[in-house]
Structure formats: C-alpha cells, structure tokens
Chains A and B, each alone.
Chain A
Amino acid sequence: MSAIGSGLSSALRHRRLAGVLWLSIVASALVAFLPLRSATEILDSGPFRESLVKGWDSWGVLSLLVVRRHEIGLVVAAFLGAAVFFGLLQVFLTGGTLRVLISGEPRRVFARVVAESAVLFKANLWATARFALSSLFWLGLLVVLPCAGLQKLAKHAPPHGGAATTLFWWALLGGLLVLFNTGLRFDLARIALARGDARNARGAFRVAKQRLSGRRASGIRLLLFWLALFVLVQALFTGAGLWMNPRTNGAVAMLFLFRQAGFFLLAMVRVGFWATLLAWEERRRANYSVMGRASGGATWNASAPISASAPASAFPETGSSVTTNGSALLSS
C-alpha cells in the first residue's frame, strides 16, 4: 500500500483520534466564545435583527464595527488568545497523536493521547521552537535577503517589471518551499521523538535530516497532497455554510452541526497526513537503519498496519522499549 493509501486508511480507522483533534478545535474556539457572545447580544435588540436573520446587512455590520468597536476589539483579542491556546494544544497533542498512530490501536484513545502527549510535551515544545527559529533563519537567508537585494537593484525600475515579478514569485514560491522543507523536517523530528529515535529535539532534527536526505521532493509531494485535500474540505464546508444562510433557530442549529462535521473531516485529514508521513518515514527508516537491520531491529512494511512495527509507547502494556529500534541507536 502506498504511503497515501496507508494515510487514507488510517484516517478512516482512527476516527476516535480525529475526534480528539476535533475536540481540541472546539475547546480552543470556546476561549473566544464569551466575548463573542457579549458583543453579539445587541443584535437581538437592535434594529437590524430581521435583516441579519435574512442575510447580510452591510450598514448594520459596518455601523456595528464602529459603534461597538471596544467589544469588537475584545472579540479580536479573544480570537488571538484562542489561536495561542490552540497552538500550544497542538504542540502538546502531536506527540500523543503520533504514539497512538504508531501503536495502531484505535480505541481508548483520549486518555492515551493525553498521557503520551504529557511525556513528549517538553521535547515537542523545544522542537517547535527549533522549527520557528530554523524557519526564520532560512526564510531570512533564502527569501528576505535575496528579495531585499533584488529590490535594491531594481529600486528605479517601474512597478511590475521583470524584477518585481521575479521578486514576487521568489518571495511566494521560495517562501513556501522553505516552509515546506522546514515544516517537513519539523514533522519528521516529532515522529522521531514519538518513535523514540531521539531523546531530545536536537537529536530528533538530526534524525529528520537523515530521513529527508535525497527524498525531499517525495516528502513535499505528500505534504502537498494532504494540504490540497485540507483546503478542499475547508473550502467546501465554508462555502456550503455560507450558502445555507439559516433563517430559523432550528436551521442555525443544523448549520452548527453541519460545520462541526466539516471540522471533524479536517481532523481526519490531519490524522491521515500523520499516518502517511509515518508510513513514508518507515520506508526511509529501512534505508538508513543499517544497524537496525544488522541487529535484527524491526522495520515496518508499509502495507502492513502501522501497529505491526510500532516500537514506542509510554504505556507499559503496549510493548517494546524506545531503545529497541536500530535507527534510534543510530541517531542517539
């Protein structure tokens, strides 16, 4: 089975895990709910109630943004707070999510995700900081510096000329390429931590580098596939949600449920992405686990369930120790 096929199959199998990720979005969004509730109370007593129930009232919305700007400011601040909370929660949950996928056991997920995440949180936090720094460094070196240089050279050139166009596309595509690369290495580093191939972020990034060596394009292709699927699901559900434009309280409740289904699907996409990357990494592991092979260390056949070769778990009853894997020996 291909890595993507393995990911799709895991996305369907690990619905409970997707449920945990969906819950993390709901919980984070709740941070913004109270200010949102307070700022929107006026909608039911004001003159725009009927028109807003029917759809868009441009004057109603525009004037609300001005006359209730303090409340709107609070809502925006709450949005930012929710984003920070969600970011930390994802850094926390990724370790547990990967461990559950590696174990291949789709049940009793919530408690395991939390417990495994707690074990890996510190290392994952460092890995995130390392990812942020390396992204900034490479963006600065490969995107900002060349762009600034080109901008200086083309200072007296007309707008949208050859230099400006090159600059724009270099900034966009170069920036994306850098982020894909650093992002992929970050993801593989977290996999290394979850598998126990490394004990800290530094070692994990070293393992990730080995995994990526010579196969970056293949890794980025996988990433793009799941990104495209993610954007598609997001666009479809957002478009449908706007199109629904509910006009009764019952229809509003239906909209809420419908959109949650959409976010659940996105969570499944997230699970599928991780499973795909695990499968892909497993094949790379075979190439580099010389010591592993020599010492008879387990390597995972991508067509087999992930659990068949998953070596690591913080739960004693799930099996093997983190140090039994050959590649772990190689990197640590």
Chain B
Amino acid sequence: MKTRLVCLFAALFFTAPAAALDRPRKIVDYSIEVSLDQDRKTVDGRETLKWTNPSDVPVAELRFHLYWNAFRNDRSTFFKESGGHLRDDEADTEKGWGYTDVTSMKWDGDELVKGARFESPDDGNPDDRTVLVVPLPRPVAPGETATLAITWKAKVPKVYARAGYVRDFFMFGQWFPQIGVYEPKGRRRRTDSGWNCHQYHANSEFYADWGDYRVRITLPEKFVVGSAGALVDSKRAGGLKTLTYEQKSIHNFAFTADPRYLVVEDVFDPAKDIPAGEIARASRTLGRSEADLLAGFRKVAIRLYLQPDHRAFDRRHIEAQKWALAWTGLWAFPYPYAQISIVDTPEDGTGATGMEYETIYTTLSLKWMSHWPFTRLFVPETVTIHEFTHGYWMGLLASNEFEESWMDEGINTFTEMVMVDRKYGAYVVVPPGIGITSEESNRVSALTQDHDPILADSWKYATENSYGRNSYPQPGITIQQIRNLLGEETFWRAFRGYAERWRFDHPTSEDFFDAMRAPGNSHVAALIPKTWYGRGWLDFSILDVSTRPDDGFTGFDDADKPVNFDPDPKKKPKKKPDEKKHKGPWQSLVVASRDGDIELPADIVLTFKDGQTVKRTWDGASGWIKYRVTSSSPLVKAEVDPEHRTVLDRNPWNNAKVTKEYEGPSAARKARVYGFHLVQILLSSLWAIL
C-alpha cells in the first residue's frame, strides 16, 4: 500500500512539475561586433556585455573564459592534457596556435584590464590563460546589472579541437570572452553563492548562463555564413559583408564561415514529419492524449551547410534531423526555437566535427560512406541525431559539462541509441545484411573493467578513454538498465518529467536521480550509488547444471532392508539402466551465480527436453541460488537473464549451460565451417598475387 502511495505521488509529481520554467532566467545579454581577417586568420572584436548578479550577495570580481588561450602554446592545461591530439585530429604546432587577448574592459568608464589576472582554479597551472579574473572597483550589488564594454583581438587556431580554421573553413565556437557562471545559493544545490568558472580542459566542455545574443559579423563577401541565430540584417561594401544575427534564450553563440558551403533548406512540419506510429506509442506510454503531446510543436526551419563533395548526404542529414525533432518533441518536449543549422565540416577538419552548440551543430559526412557497400553505415545519421539532441541535454537543460559531463553525453547517448535503433533498425549494416544496433555498440563498454565512477570532474578521469567511457556509453547503458528495471511506462514518464521540469534550467546529477528514484524501485535506488558514484559491476552466470534419472529409493531402509540393490559382495552388481531409455522422473540441479557488487534481479529459465520451460525470478540479493527440480523430462538447459535485460552484465557468455541431454544442432560446428571457409577465401585470394 505504501509503495502504491509513493507511486501515486510520483505520478502526480511528474505530470505536474513543481518548478518548471516557461523561459530561462536571463543573466547575460551580449551585443558583439566581430571582423575576420581571412588571410591572417585574426579576429577583432568588441562586445557589450550586460551581466546581472543573480545572487543575494555582492560580487567583487568577475571571471571570464578565454577558451582560445587553450591553443596559445604547449604550456596550456588543454595542450598538456591532450598532447596536441584530440578528436582524431592533430594540432598544427608550427603555425596552428591561437589566442584571445582582451585589450580593454570598461565598466562605468573604469578600465578593468590593468588589474586583471589569470587564475587556474582546477590545476594551479601558472601558464594557463583560459580563466581571466577581473577585480572590480566596486562590487556588483545583488540584482544589479553591470554593463561592460570589452574589446579583444584573437588569432584563430588551426582546428584540432572543435574551433578553428582549415584552409578557408572557419568554425567559431567558444570564441569570444565569455563570462563565467556566478551560481547563487541553491543553484545546482549549492550551499553558498560563488563563481563556477573552470579552465578549458581537453576532456571538458562548457557551462554558461542564459541570455540574449546580437552578433554582427564582418568578413569577405565570398563567405557563406551559418550561425546560431536568425539573420536580421545584411550589408555589403568594399568586398566585405556585415551580417547581423540575433538569438534569444541561449547560453552560447557559435557561427561558421566557408565560401564552399552549399546551403540546403528544408522545414520540419509537425503535421507531416512526425510518424503517426510514434505519436501513438508516445501517447500510450506517457499516458497523455495525442493532442496534448502535439500541442507545443511548431514548424522549424532547417539549414544544412553542406560541403560540395558531400552532396550525396543532404537527404540523409535532413531526414535524420526531422526524426530527431519529432522524437525529442514527443519524449522530452517540443523544440522551442524557430531554426536549426547543421554544419557539415570538411574531411580535413575532423577536429571541428561532431560538436554541439545551441541551435547549430557540426555533423559528419565521409564521402566513402556514400558509395556501396557503405551506404548503410548510419554513422552520418547517428552523428546528426546525437549532436542535435545535445541541444536538449546540454542546451535546453543546461547542465554543467565541466563537472557532470555524463548529464549531457550520457543521457544523449541513451536517447541516440533509442532514436537510431528505432529509425534505422541498426547503427551499421554491412553486406550481406549483418547489422549491429546502436545499443549493442554502446553495451560493449560494460564488458570490460572500469577505472572510474561515472560521475567525476571531466579532467579527473584516469585516462581519456575512461572519460569517454564514463561520459558516453557507460551512463547511456546504465540509464537503459534503469529503463529495463522500471518498465516502459514508468521510465518514460519519469524521463519526460525530468526533461520538462528542468527545461531552461541547470539540473544536477541528483536531479536526474531524483526523477529516476521517485517511482520507488529499490533496485534503481541501489544501482545509482554503485554506478554513478562507484565502479560497480555484476556478472550473472550459471555455475552448474546437471540432470540424472531418478530411480527412486536406493540403499537401506529404516529396517536395514536393502532396496533396489543386492548387498551380497559375491554377486555382480546390477547393470546400470540405459539413461536414454529412462521414462522419468528426472532429478536436476541448477546453480546460478551473481558476481560483483551490483545487486539486480534476473529471470532464470529451465528448459526441459519435452520443450517445457520453467521460469523463476531471482532477486539477485545473494551471491548464488540453487534449484533442485524433479521433472518428467530431463533438463537440457538453464539460462539466467535469457532476454538480456541486464545490460550491465559483464559477461553474457556464461549466462547459460546445457546438459548432455541437449540434442539441438551445434552452433560451434556451423561457426567453424564458416570460419574455415573464411580462411580458405583469404588464402585462395593470394593466388591473385602468387
């Protein structure tokens, strides 16, 4: 009864979020003018920043991110951590360096730059220049808005980590002096107000306050520009053009420029582009009417900035984008902006590929994937879906990626798995139709030893691989485990509840956990500390399985009378009956085991020779469980978790054992024959040379 009440409360809580916001709290307002010198790869910028102190305490100093100083030299924290290699790209250590220098910062006529200093709050690196601390002549009072006039100059780095140039392709991300986040007490469960302004790390992304942006870009006329905002003004003079973009309610502004872009325009129309089957599924699962689910949808302009050698990918990206808009709109909430821009990066600028910004992101196209037999490698589609959906888990639910990277990457990996597998059926398919799903490709991570918990500051993981594993597939798969534990309806209602509650806000890990714990599933509650705060693992296995004829009572009875045997040592013992002719009953033994520190329930299925099956659910609390079964038919197989619902299982290959009574065809023989043929194919191919 108590559990039911908890569930009822949880259902009410999720359907009516207590403190969801209709729009974000506006903290910043940027008005930026920037001009690009294409040949020297330099930028001159001016910005007027209006920053409002969101706390109830005065703020005596401001903190700014100067992200491009990560590429200033080989002493920066970013360079030391990355070693000049990141995102399958290499830093150009001859000519590729970049920087941002703030030349002036004025508030009420006072020049602030003179007193400014660089700090390295994360690692104390005295050579890092990515966090600028600016003491103020007087504190900014609570609720007061300070208007700062900032000028800066920058050298664009050769791209190897998200932002930069290659030839005349430019990606401007984290490119302007951006104020850090002053978190008021209570924001993200803080107990006191203070700055949250981390250095730029190789394995970290970003965190910023919401606000409005007006950006005026001047550059040579030949460039095609795509940006986070809507184009509101365009002027041309002297071979240059000045484009003005505006976007409200975002927390970063990115743009791209390349003279070679082909612009493909399309419109996401909810009336046409949301599959009817998906609406019905969402309505049924979420317990909401279709009209309710469709109420917030609007048309969205899609602009694809395509490299000319990637023409073949235009529909692939557009269709993937439309599907992502439909799916996220149904299962989280409808996309609130009027446009989305997709940037297709050149193949010699892979460092800029697959990066999310708000209302704009970079995707991946590789020309060889447009030719048979690679056309069903759904990698470009997956990247499009993945990067767009970042716009939700990083963008609209503005988590702190420095400290909780999984909240963006992990949740995003989970939704990507669902979207890709539902739309395409697989992540990659190769002839002759062999496919691997997105979920499977991510589940592989659970099969090997982990070195870190999921939750850690992004620069504190043991290795770059460990950061990758614990930010992307591990949390994605763990959320999938929670989904399997809660069941479809409960999980998706909790999931959508989380999304709606924290839209336009800054959730923490615990906010997500609260949403998942609320339905009252004790296994979920126990799983969270083991995985997010620990390195928990588990491995189900069948330790032992046997079956033998039950010949009834054999031995001496209570009256010392021999039963079923002759105690006379001179007489030959009776010949053992042929087991194959035994009509029953049969005695069988099954021992199942759970190794590791995560306790999860699992089904155990016993299959008998006559085709009958018996299913038992084991709570997984003990280290092992033993079943003794008497049956009319011999046991042929015992299997734990036959539906593979325990996606965190470290070794699925020990989940079953067969007895000698099993008479099915041999998979090993089949595999050997195909393997043998594979060797023969490879060998005979050598005849072409030898």
Judge: A and B partners, yes or no.
yes
Residues of B within 8 A of A32 (CB): 675-676, 679
Beta-carbon contact of A40 and B686 below 8 Å: no
Segment at the interface with B among A49-57, A106-114, A203-211, A280-288: A49-57
Partner of A25, one of B167, B669, B683, B689: B683
Task: Scan A23-44; emit 1 where CB is below 8 A from any B CB, else 0.
Answer: 0011011001100110011111
- Residue among B367, B434, B440, B667 facing the most chain A CB atoms (10 A cut-off): B667
Residues of B within 8 A of A86 (CB): 683, 686
Residues of A within 8 A of B667 (CB): 43-44, 48-50, 52-53
Which B residues, 439 to 481, have Cβ-Cβ distances below 8 Å to chain A? Answer: 440-441, 443-444, 447-448
Partner of B644, one of A59, A227, A249: A59
Chain A nearest Cβ from B644, distance in angstroms: 7
Q: Taking the complex as formed, is B614 at the interface, i.e. its CB lies under 8 A from any CB of chain A?
A: no
Task: For B655, give the chain A residue with the smallest CB separation.
Answer: A47
Partner of A63, one of B346, B432, B653, B686: B653
Beta-carbon contact of B167 and A66 below 8 Å: no
Beta-carbon contact of B653 and A230 below 8 Å: no
Q: Taking the complex as formed, is B673 at the interface, i.e. its CB lies under 8 A from any CB of chain A?
A: yes
Given known pairs A33-B676, A44-B658, A66-B444, the reply for A159 and B348 (CB within 8 Å) is yes
Report Cα–Cα, A158/B437, bound state, in Å.
33
Segment at the interface with B among A6-14, A140-148, A191-199, A251-259: A251-259
Beta-carbon contact of A67 and B434 below 8 Å: no
Report Cα–Cα, A63/B685, bound state, in Å.
29
Beta-carbon contact of A252 and B687 below 8 Å: no
Beta-carbon contact of B653 and A68 below 8 Å: yes
Given known pairs A42-B653, A58-B440, A64-B653, the reply for A36 and B686 (CB within 8 Å) is no
Report Cα–Cα, A47/B651, bound state, in Å.
11
Residues of A within 8 A of B675 (CB): 32, 36, 40, 75
Given known pairs A43-B671, A68-B653, A252-B673, the reply for A62 and B440 (CB within 8 Å) is yes
Partner of A249, one of B654, B669, B684: B669
Q: Taking the complex as formed, is A222 at the interface, i.e. its CB lies under 8 A from any CB of chain B?
A: no
Beta-carbon contact of B434 and A249 below 8 Å: no
Q: Taking the complex as formed, is A160 at the interface, i.e. its CB lies under 8 A from any CB of chain B?
A: yes
Beta-carbon contact of B654 and A46 below 8 Å: yes
Report Cα–Cα, A94/B347, bound state, in Å.
45
Q: Taking the complex as formed, is A279 at the interface, i.e. its CB lies under 8 A from any CB of chain B?
A: no
Q: Taking the complex as formed, is B670 at the interface, i.e. its CB lies under 8 A from any CB of chain A?
A: yes
Beta-carbon contact of A91 and B679 below 8 Å: no
Beta-carbon contact of A158 and B681 below 8 Å: no
Residues of B within 8 A of A263 (CB): 680, 684
Q: Taking the complex as formed, is B573 at the interface, i.e. its CB lies under 8 A from any CB of chain A?
A: no
Report Cα–Cα, A47/B639, bound state, in Å.
7
Task: Scan B335-358; emit 1 where CB is below 8 A from any A CB, else 0.
Answer: 000000000001110000000000
Which A residues, 64 to 114, have Cβ-Cβ distances below 8 Å to chain B? Answer: 64, 66-68, 75, 79, 82-83, 86-87, 90-91, 94
Task: For A80, give the chain B residue with the smallest CB separation.
Answer: B682
Partner of B672, one of A40, A50, A259: A40
Q: Taking the complex as formed, is B309 at the interface, i.e. its CB lies under 8 A from any CB of chain A?
A: yes
Task: Scan B633-661; emit 1 where CB is below 8 A from any A CB, else 0.
Answer: 00000010010100000011111111000
Chain B nearest Cβ from A306, distance in angstroms: 20
Beta-carbon contact of B666 and A44 below 8 Å: yes
Report Cα–Cα, A25/B651, bound state, in Å.
36
Task: Scan B145-168; emit 1 where CB is below 8 A from any A CB, else 0.
Answer: 000000000000000000000010
Report Cα–Cα, A241/B669, bound state, in Å.
15
- Residue among A44, A56, A238, A255 facing the most chain B CB atoms (10 A cut-off): A44
Residues of B within 8 A of A243 (CB): 432
Beta-carbon contact of A29 and B676 below 8 Å: yes
Residues of B within 8 A of A49 (CB): 656, 658, 664, 666-667
Q: Taking the complex as formed, is A248 at the interface, i.e. its CB lies under 8 A from any CB of chain B?
A: yes
Residues of A within 8 A of B671 (CB): 40, 43, 52
Beta-carbon contact of B670 and A29 below 8 Å: no
Chain A nearest Cβ from B479, distance in angstroms: 18
Task: For A245, give the chain B residue with the smallest CB separation.
Answer: B670
Beta-carbon contact of B448 and A256 below 8 Å: no
Partner of B665, one of A53, A56, A82, A160: A53
Partner of B688, one of A91, A227, A242: A227
Report Cα–Cα, A67/B432, bound state, in Å.
25
Beta-carbon contact of A247 and B444 below 8 Å: no
- Residue among B348, B652, B664, B685 facing the most chain A CB atoms (10 A cut-off): B652
Beta-carbon contact of B683 and A28 below 8 Å: yes
Beta-carbon contact of A239 and B435 below 8 Å: no
Q: Taking the complex as formed, is B616 at the interface, i.e. its CB lies under 8 A from any CB of chain A?
A: no
Beta-carbon contact of A159 and B668 below 8 Å: no
Chain B nearest Cβ from A58, distance in angstroms: 5
Task: For A51, give the chain B residue with the smallest CB separation.
Answer: B667
Chain A nearest Cβ from B216, distance in angstroms: 28
Report Cα–Cα, A28/B684, bound state, in Å.
10
Which B residues, 256 to 272, have Cβ-Cβ distances below 8 Å to chain A? Answer: 260
Q: Taking the complex as formed, is A45 at the interface, i.e. its CB lies under 8 A from any CB of chain B?
A: yes
Report Cα–Cα, A295/B668, bound state, in Å.
65
Q: Taking the complex as formed, is A152 at the interface, i.e. its CB lies under 8 A from any CB of chain B?
A: no
Beta-carbon contact of B653 and A158 below 8 Å: no
Residues of A within 8 A of B652 (CB): 47-48, 59-60, 63, 67
Beta-carbon contact of A160 and B309 below 8 Å: yes
Residues of A within 8 A of B673 (CB): 252, 255-256, 259
Partner of B447, one of A67, A91, A241, A248: A67
Given known pairs A49-B667, A66-B448, A158-B309, the reply for A36 and B672 (CB within 8 Å) is yes
Q: Taking the complex as formed, is B288 at the interface, i.e. its CB lies under 8 A from any CB of chain A?
A: no
- Residue among B436, B672, B680, B682 facing the most chain A CB atoms (10 A cut-off): B680
Partner of B664, one of A53, A59, A66, A156: A53
Residues of B within 8 A of A230 (CB): 687-688
Report Cα–Cα, A242/B434, bound state, in Å.
11
Beta-carbon contact of A160 and B347 below 8 Å: yes
Task: Scan A154-180; emit 1 where CB is below 8 A from any B CB, else 0.
Answer: 001111110000000000000000010
Report Cα–Cα, A52/B666, bound state, in Å.
9
Report Cα–Cα, A63/B367, bound state, in Å.
30
Residues of B within 8 A of A46 (CB): 653-656
Given known pairs A59-B652, A79-B682, the reply for A43 and B260 (CB within 8 Å) is no
Beta-carbon contact of B668 and A41 below 8 Å: yes
Partner of B680, one of A29, A48, A64, A68: A29
Given known pairs A53-B665, A241-B677, the reply for A45 and B658 (CB within 8 Å) is yes
Q: Taking the complex as formed, is B690 at the interface, i.e. its CB lies under 8 A from any CB of chain A?
A: yes
Chain A nearest Cβ from B351, distance in angstroms: 14
Report Cα–Cα, A301/B448, bound state, in Å.
67
- Residue among B440, B644, B654, B666 facing the most chain A CB atoms (10 A cut-off): B666
Residues of B within 8 A of A200 (CB): none
Residues of B within 8 A of A252 (CB): 665-666, 669-670, 673
Q: Taking the complex as formed, is A128 at the interface, i.e. its CB lies under 8 A from any CB of chain B?
A: yes
Task: Scan A213-257; emit 1 where CB is below 8 A from any B CB, else 0.
Answer: 000000000000001001000100011011100111100100110
Beta-carbon contact of A58 and B435 below 8 Å: yes
Q: Taking the complex as formed, is A314 at the interface, i.e. its CB lies under 8 A from any CB of chain B?
A: no
Chain A nearest Cβ from B422, distance in angstroms: 16
Beta-carbon contact of A56 and B434 below 8 Å: yes
Which B residues, 220 to 278, have Cβ-Cβ distances below 8 Å to chain A? Answer: 260
Residues of A within 8 A of B682 (CB): 79, 83
Provide 17 A-B residue pairs closer than 8 Å at the C-beta atoms, listed in order of the A residue.
Answer: A46-B655, A47-B656, A50-B667, A60-B652, A62-B441, A63-B447, A66-B448, A68-B653, A82-B683, A128-B690, A156-B167, A157-B167, A159-B367, A239-B432, A249-B669, A259-B673, A266-B687
The 7 closest A-B pairs by CB, nearest first: A47-B656, A160-B309, A52-B667, A159-B347, A43-B667, A43-B668, A29-B679
| Residues on B facing A (Cβ under 8 Å) | 167, 260, 307, 309, 346-348, 367, 426, 432-437, 440-441, 443-444, 447-448, 639, 642, 644, 651-658, 664-677, 679-690
Q: What 6 additional pairs, Cβ within 8 angstroms, besides A49-B666, A90-B690, A160-B309? A: A52-B667, A59-B443, A66-B448, A67-B651, A128-B690, A158-B167
